[in-house]
Structure 1
Amino acid sequence: MSGNHSVPSALLPGVDGAAFGVALAVRLRQRGVPVGFTAIENFIRALEVSPPDSLPRLYWTARITLVRQRSEIDVFDAVFAAVFGGVALALDPHARRRPRITASGRDDAFASLPANSTDRRHGDALPWVTLPPVVADAEASDSPLAVPDRLPNDISGLAEVPFEHLDAREMELLGTWLRSAVVDWPTRRSRRLAANPRGHRIAVRATVQRSRRTGWEPLHLVRERAIDKPRRVVMLCDVSQSMQAQAPAYFHLMRALALAADAEVFAFATSLTRLTTVLTHKSAAVAIEQATDKVTDRFGGTRIATNLRALLSSHHGGALRGAIVIIGSDGWDSDSPEALASAMARLRRRAHRVIWMNPRASAPDFEPRVASMAAALPYCDRLLPADTFRSLQRVIAEISRARRLHSVT
């Protein structure tokens, strides 16, 4: 995307098309819409091929090229209305069927998010020309262009906020951002083989079949190698009274893993509840509500060892073999430490890696002084803090790290 990309139209006179397309895509990404480089290139090329001479043409050009899913239309309308002054309802005849966009150009899903200084000073206008990364105040000038301060976007600011300070809308927004973080998934080597020129084994049947063309002389050897398949992930979430503030956020992580990686997810307090089917609902709000209703023993006591034994003995126990197991709990357990150590030993022999998320581990002076936590720690590969969405993203990064720790199980 090099060269001159100015849009020769009456609607955007003298505007750098590349800078305009990138700036609009950045706004959409800040609101949780995953706009890729291909979509940005398509939008810029569309502006060059058919310069928009009216606002409706610009709206539909951007929407067709930048929006991929129906669930992203509301966010796109909100961003477009914020830039061009609340015009999405007039341009899209179906927009009135969706939640109303407020006068400020931000829909209800973003009403609780703080606007940055650029929005307050310039009315959500896009930087339509390429600007230098200047953060200091510019000197007085007659130029109509202004250089905004570079500030973190809304999602980055909320990612470090503790779970107990987030409302339902902010948590749903960050859950969408968390789902987009699941990009690099670990794999495991299967027993199935496929032809590959870099393989170390010779496919005898394929080589013999190919030798029919050369008088049964095997002049060309067909090589094969094992096929890699995604590694299974199983997550268990503690929903007892001591984990009341973290349970909704852990549900969003479980939903992200179930949707993006086909993971098996469970919740436990005094009994074990499978949530894989309900958390894969297309609506995040409905999925979290159904998961909360299904866990009947939430915010009660905790029996970690009993629930681990129940999972190992159930027909879902086979999913643990060679899997990455994630346990989200603070370690408070009504069962004895010896029972938890025995259950964790069985789990460790069956799983590929065991990751324990503890919301208390982010404290500077944290030590696993709880007897149950101390008993389970020798059987864990990693103990990670999990009190903010940023820390949950580090958990996903730790899962992806297993790709480099590839081994045959």
Structure 2
Amino acid sequence: MSGHLADNVALFGRALRAAGIPVGPGAIVDAVGAVEAAGIRRREDLYWTLHSVLVSRREQMPVFDAAFRLFWRRRGFVEKLLAEMSPLAPGEKGREKPKPGETRVLEAMQPRKARREEETVEREVSARLTASDRDVLKERDFAQMTAQEIARARRVIEAMRLPDDDRPTRRLRPDPRGRLVDLRRSLRGSLRGGGATINLAFRSRHTRPPPLVAIVDISGSMAEYSRLFLHFLHTLAEKRRRVHGFVFATRLTNITRDLAHRDPDDALARAAARVKDWEGGTRIASALRDFNRLWSRRVLGQGAVVLLFTDGLEREAGSDLAFEMDRLRRSCGRLVWLNPLLRFGAFEARAAGIRAMLPHVDEFRPIHSLASMEELVRALGTSRPDGADPARWLRAAS
């Protein structure tokens, strides 16, 4: 193999590692050997050869695609490398807004000296600027976050304080300040003193948070947002009981057991391995039909709160979607629709799928940044927050 091509494969692997994909020296050696054995003739051959060696999870595919497009972006560069041309120098940022995943890749391809200078400046900022950085991070769109910002966002999510939304249940528990007399305990206590006197024992209703059920869209248009939301869901599952997670693109998959693992990276890796349609198409109606038929009676008891995480861009929007949404709403205590499209100020409920779903939800909220996620946490602690009425979107569209 040309020495320059081998060097560039190594540089490409280093860029992937800086962008968040775990690529070690052994994987780089294997990639160089695979390129040599495959006999590269076209750009596509190089893409899929490196993809087969360096990508091990579905969630790494968008980052790899953006890295390959940026690193090997000069036309005919692969062919020139085969003729032992000089290696490609990372180009400057374009003026266009980066696509999902490109921000991390562009950051990873910066010269090491420039990154060290930026890190030094960041260490020297005052507390005032640090607070400002936190505010900027809260407002940053998940799809445009760098690898470092995503790591910071995960730490912020793990530290979130969950709402105190305990509700009374039918079960009773001993309570000296309760209003209900516990006759059985009162009589049992009187027998210890010979039955001469009866000291009344009291009890009250036991309180516990309602079950939380998340139905998460992991199709291609939602991938950059669903990953951090699943991290948020893992935090919920770690801090409270009865949290159920389901993901869908073209089919529905239950990942509740995977979210029970303590380590968040291990939990999400197990969930990704279980899911077969990650970043596929979107079939909301069929996924809701499967959930209503197979899972609703198992997990939607005791006033469960359902978080429906999707953009509502259904391929086949029809009466089935409205029917399944109505059935879901009647089965749960509260249905909250989380839609990243609400981050756009000019959003209107024009799509057929969105118009079919809106009449059947209790709340319609954005979910694209840490600020919107914190607002969701506060909203879960109230019965009906202000500004989340979905009817106003239908009125605005009509």
TM-score of the aligned structures, taking structure 2 as reference length: 0.61
The 8 Å contact of residues 207 and 218 in structure 1, kept in 2 or not, is answered as no
The 8 Å contact of residues 265 and 275 in structure 1, kept in 2 or not, is answered as yes
Within a 5 Å distance, the mapping from 1:235-384 to structure 2 comes to: 235-262=214-241, 263-315=243-295, 317-321=297-301, 322-384=303-365
Unmatched 5+ stretches in structure 1 = 1-110, 123-147, 405-409
Equivalent AA in structure 1 for residue 163 of structure 2: D
The alignment partner of 2:224 has SS state of coil
Equivalent AA in structure 2 for residue 202 of structure 1: V
Q: What CA distance in whole angstroms lies between the structure 2 residues aligned with 1:168 and 1:372?
A: 33
Within a 5 Å distance, the mapping from 1:5-404 to structure 2 comes to: 119-120=123-124, 149=128, 151-152=130-131, 154-212=133-191, 216=195, 219-262=198-241, 263-315=243-295, 317-321=297-301, 322-402=303-383
Q: What CA distance in whole angstroms lies between the structure 1 residues aligned with 2:153 and 2:220?
A: 23
Deviations 1:94-153 (Å, cap 9, x if unpaired)? xxxxxxxxxxxxxxxxx899769783268xxxxxxxxxxxxxxxxxxxxxxxxx646416
Q: What CA distance in whole angstroms lies between the structure 2 residues aligned with 1:161 and 1:282?
A: 27
Q: CA 1:149–1:227 in 2, change beyond 3 Å: closer, same or farther?
A: closer
Q: What CA distance in whole angstroms lies between the structure 2 residues aligned with 1:392 and 1:364?
A: 18
Alpha-carbon deviation of 1:332? 0.8
The 8 Å contact of residues 312 and 354 in structure 2, kept in 1 or not, is answered as yes
Alpha-carbon deviation of 1:226? 1.3
Q: What CA distance in whole angstroms lies between the structure 1 residues aligned with 2:340 and 2:130?
A: 28
Q: What CA distance in whole angstroms lies between the structure 1 residues aligned with 2:313 and 2:178?
A: 49
Unmatched 5+ stretches in structure 2 = 1-114, 386-398
Deviations 1:63-102 (Å, cap 9, x if unpaired)? xxxxxxxxxxxxxxxxxxxxxxxxxxxxxxxxxxxxxxxx
Equivalent AA in structure 2 for residue 244 of structure 1: A
Equivalent AA in structure 1 for residue 324 of structure 2: A
Q: What CA distance in whole angstroms lies between the structure 1 residues aligned with 2:217 and 2:223?
A: 9
The 8 Å contact of residues 211 and 219 in structure 1, kept in 2 or not, is answered as yes
The alignment partner of 1:401 has SS state of coil
Q: CA 1:118–1:189 in 2, change beyond 3 Å: closer, same or farther?
A: same
The alignment partner of 1:228 has SS state of strand
Q: CA 1:375–1:255 in 2, change beyond 3 Å: closer, same or farther?
A: same
Q: What CA distance in whole angstroms lies between the structure 2 residues aligned with 1:168 and 1:249?
A: 12
The alignment partner of 1:152 has SS state of helix
TM-score of the aligned structures, taking structure 1 as reference length: 0.59
Q: What CA distance in whole angstroms lies between the structure 2 residues aligned with 1:299 and 1:183?
A: 29
Alpha-carbon deviation of 1:190? 2.6
The equivalent of 1:6 in structure 2 is: none
Deviations 1:267-325 (Å, cap 9, x if unpaired)? 10110011222234333333333333332212222111211121122156411222110
Q: What CA distance in whole angstroms lies between the structure 2 residues aligned with 1:328 and 1:269?
A: 11
The 8 Å contact of residues 172 and 252 in structure 1, kept in 2 or not, is answered as no
The answer to which structure has the higher helix fraction is 2
Identity, % of aligned positions = 28
Alpha-carbon deviation of 1:242? 1.9
The alignment partner of 2:246 has SS state of strand
The equivalent of 1:31 in structure 2 is: none
After TM superposition, where is structure 1 displaced by more than 4 Å over at least 4 residues in a row? 111-118, 148-151
Q: CA 1:192–1:366 in 2, change beyond 3 Å: closer, same or farther?
A: same
Q: What CA distance in whole angstroms lies between the structure 1 residues aligned with 2:330 and 2:290?
A: 16
The 8 Å contact of residues 118 and 149 in structure 1, kept in 2 or not, is answered as no
Q: CA 1:334–1:167 in 2, change beyond 3 Å: closer, same or farther?
A: same
The 8 Å contact of residues 336 and 364 in structure 2, kept in 1 or not, is answered as yes
The equivalent of 1:97 in structure 2 is: none
Q: CA 1:179–1:119 in 2, change beyond 3 Å: closer, same or farther?
A: closer
Q: Number of residue pairs matched?
A: 269
Deviations 1:176-204 (Å, cap 9, x if unpaired)? 31132143342232332122133221111
Q: What CA distance in whole angstroms lies between the structure 2 residues aligned with 1:234 and 1:112?
A: 43
The 8 Å contact of residues 345 and 379 in structure 1, kept in 2 or not, is answered as yes
The 8 Å contact of residues 269 and 301 in structure 1, kept in 2 or not, is answered as yes
Pick which of 340-349 and 180-189 moved more: 180-189
Alpha-carbon deviation of 1:219? 4.9
Q: What CA distance in whole angstroms lies between the structure 2 residues aligned with 1:383 and 1:116?
A: 42
Alpha-carbon deviation of 1:335? 3.5
Q: What CA distance in whole angstroms lies between the structure 1 residues aligned with 2:315 and 2:117?
A: 40
Q: What CA distance in whole angstroms lies between the structure 1 residues aligned with 2:118 and 2:328?
A: 44
The 8 Å contact of residues 190 and 227 in structure 1, kept in 2 or not, is answered as yes
Alpha-carbon deviation of 1:264? 0.7
The equivalent of 2:24 in structure 1 is: none
Equivalent AA in structure 1 for residue 239 of structure 2: A
Deviations 1:330-373 (Å, cap 9, x if unpaired)? 10112333211111111111111110000011222322222221
